C-alpha cells in the first residue's frame, strides 16, 4: 500500500529521536574541546626526535644525522645538516633538523626506516599557527622530546624499543670488551635479557645494525 514505506521510515527516525535521549548508541556526539577521545596507542600525527637525557635535550638526541629519513620521506619534508667540528669531522649529530609539518603527511615511513629509533610519531594534534611558514617549520629544538614522553605516548612500543636498545648496547659493550682483551676470556653472551623481547611492533623491518646511509 502506498505510504507504508514512508511510515516505516518515520518509525525509524522517531526511534532515533527518542533513543538519543537515553541510548548512548544513538547519541554519539562528543563535544570536542571539553571532551576528548582517548587516542589509541598507535595513533600517529607528526614526527618528533627522541632524546635520552632530559637535562641535555639537544646533546642527547638519538639521531646521528644519517639522512635515511630525509631520503625516504615521500613528501620530502625533512631537512638535515650534519654537525661538524672545526676540522670538518662529522660529529654524528644533527646541526639542523627541520620538519615542515605543513608538508608532512604523517605516513610514519621515517619512523620505519630509522635504524636508531631516533624519530617517533607524536600525538599532539592541536596545532594551529598564525604564521604558516615559520610556525609550521619545526626545528630540532621544538622536535626534541624526552624518552619519558615517548613512553607516555606509546608505552608498549617504547618498552620494546628500550629493551632492544639495551640489548644492542650490551652487545656493543661486549664486543668492545672482547676486542680489548681478546686473550683474557672468551666473549660471553652479554644480552641482559635471556629472552629478547619481540621486535618493536611499529617498525616493520627487523632492526638492523647501524649502516651508513645509502648514497
Partner 1 sequence: MSLPGQLSVLFPLASGLGASSPLAAVLPASDSALERLPLTLRGLLTGWLPASWQWLANSLIAIVVLIVAFASLFALLTLAERKILGRVQNRPGPNRAPLPFLNLRTYGLAQPVADGVKMLTKEDIVPDGADRVLHFLAPIALLAFSILTLAVIPYGRLLVALDLDASVLFFFAAGAATELAVFMAGWASRNKYSLLAAMRALAQLISYELPLLLSVVPVVLMAGSLSTSVIVERQGEWWLGFLPRWYVFTPWGLAGFLVFFVASLAESNRSPFDLPEAESELIAGHLTEYSGFKYALFFMAEYFGMCALCGMAVTLFLGGWQAPLPFLSFIPSYLWFAGKLLALLGVFMWIRASFPRLRIDQLTRLAWKFLVPLALINLGTTAFWSLTADWAGLLQPLRWLIAAGLIAGPFLLLGRNLSKGLGPRTYRYAA
Partner 2 sequence: MTSPAAPSSFPSGLPSSPGAHVRAVHDDFHGDLLEVSMGPHHPSTHGVFRMIVTLDGERIVRLKPVFGYLHRNHEKLGEQTTYLASMPYTDRLDYLNSMTNNWAYAIAVEKLAGQAVPERAEYVRVILAELTRLLNHTCLAGFLLQDTGCSGTPLMYAFREREKILDLFESLSGSRMMCNFQRFGGCRLDPTPEWLAAVRQLVDGYGRFLDEFEALISGNEIVMARTQGTGVLTPALAISAGVTGPMLRATGVDYDLRKVDGYGVYPRFEFRVPLGAHGDTYDRYMIRILEMRESIQILRQALRDLPAGPILDPKAKNRGFRPKPGEAYGRIEGPKGEIGFYLISDGSPNPFRYRVRPPSFVNLTILEDMCLGQTVADAVIILGSIDIVLGEVDR
Q: Site residues (CB under 8 A) for partner 2?
A: 2-6, 8-9, 11-13, 16, 28, 40-44, 68, 72-74, 105-109, 112-113, 121, 201-202, 204-206, 214
Query: In the complex with partner 1, which residue's Cβ is closer, 21 or 133?
Result: 21
Q: Residue 40: which of partner 1, partner 2, none does it interact with, CB under 5 to 8 A by kind?
A: partner 2
Pairing of strands 119-121, 47-51: antiparallel
**Cα–Cα distance between 142 and 99 in angstroms, integer?**
10
Least Å from the CB of residue 112 to partner 2: 7
Q: Answer yes or no: are the C-beta atoms of 64 and 210 closer than 8 Å.
A: yes
Least Å from the CB of residue 9 to partner 1: 5
DSSP state of 96: E
Contacts of 54 (CB under 8 A, 6+ apart): 146, 148
| Placement of cell 620530502 in the chain | 76
Query: In the complex with partner 2, which residue's Cβ is closer, 24 or 88?
Result: 24
Query: In the complex with partner 1, which residue's Cβ is closer, 16 or 102?
Result: 16
Q: Residue 21: which of partner 2, partner 1, none does it interact with, CB under 5 to 8 A by kind?
A: partner 1
Query: In the complex with partner 1, which residue's Cβ is closer, 9 or 155?
Result: 9
Phi, psi of 120 (to 5 degrees): -135, 170
Residue 189 burial by CB count (10 A; 0-12/13-18/19+): exposed, middle or buried? exposed
The residues that touch partner 1, with contacts defined as CB under 8 A, are: 1-3, 6, 9-10, 12-14, 16-17, 19-21, 26-29, 31
Amino acid at each position: 500500500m502506498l505510504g507504508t514505506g514512508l511510515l516505516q521510515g518515520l518509525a525509524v527516525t522517531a526511534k532515533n529521536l527518542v533513543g538519543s535521549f537515553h541510548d548512548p548508541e544513538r547519541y554519539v556526539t562528543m563535544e570536542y574541546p571539553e571532551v576528548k577521545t582517548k587516542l589509541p596507542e598507535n595513533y600517529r600525527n607528526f614526527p618528533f626526535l627522541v632524546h635520552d637525557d632530559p637535562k641535555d635535550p639537544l646533546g642527547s638526541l638519538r639521531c646521528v644525522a644519517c639522512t635515511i629519513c630525509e631520503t625516504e620521506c615521500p613528501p620530502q619534508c625533512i631537512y638535515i645538516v650534519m654537525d661538524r667540528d672545526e676540522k670538518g669531522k662529522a660529529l654524528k649529530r644533527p646541526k639542523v633538523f627541520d620538519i615542515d609539518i605543513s608538508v608532512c603527511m604523517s605516513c610514519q615511513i621515517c619512523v620505519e626506516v630509522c635504524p636508531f629509533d631516533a624519530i617517533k610519531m607524536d600525538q599532539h594534534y592541536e596545532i594551529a599557527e598564525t604564521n604558516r611558514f615559520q610556525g609550521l617549520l619545526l626545528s630540532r629544538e621544538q622536535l626534541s622530546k624526552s624518552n619519558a614522553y615517548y613512553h607516555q605516548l606509546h608505552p608498549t612500543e617504547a618498552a620494546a624499543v628500550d629493551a632492544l636498545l639495551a640489548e644492542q648496547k650490551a652487545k656493543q659493550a661486549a664486543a668492545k670488551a672482547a676486542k680489548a682483551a681478546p686473550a683474557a676470556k672468551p666473549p660471553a653472551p652479554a644480552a641482559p635479557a635471556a629472552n629478547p623481547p619481540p621486535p618493536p611492533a611499529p617498525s616493520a623491518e627487523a632492526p638492523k645494525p647501524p649502516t651508513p646511509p645509502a648514497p
